[in-house]
Amino acid sequence: MNTTELRQKDVDGLRAEVKELQKAHFGLRMQKATQQLTNTATLRSTRRVIARAKTILAETIVKQGAK
């Protein structure tokens, strides 16, 4: 998910996306713990996408609060 797709979502959509990404990241962590994850780089990328979504969510909340 890139930033343009995230910026098109509203606050509720962004919160849902963050929750979904966190669940996916948890699943990947469990796969790693049980030696089932072959591509460990996905952990890093999902962590970064979560951070990106949280940043855009915070920006959106501030922008709506300033109006």
Residue 21 has what pLDDT?
A: 97
- The CATH architecture one would assign to domain 3-66 is Orthogonal Bundle (1.10)
Burial degree of 41 (CB within 10 A; 0-12, 13-18, 19+): exposed
What's the longest Cα–Cα distance across the chain? 49
- What's the pLDDT tens digit per position in 26-66? 999 999 999 999 999 999 999 999 999 999 999 999 998 87
- Rounded CA-CA distance 42/58 in Å is 24
Residue 65 has what pLDDT?
A: 85
- Rounded CA-CA distance 47/18 in Å is 10
For the chain, what are the domain ranges? 3-66
- What's the pLDDT tens digit per position in 14-28? 999 999 999 999 999
Residue 12 has what pLDDT?
A: 96
φ/ψ of 33, rounded to 5, equals -65, -30
Residue 66 has what pLDDT?
A: 76
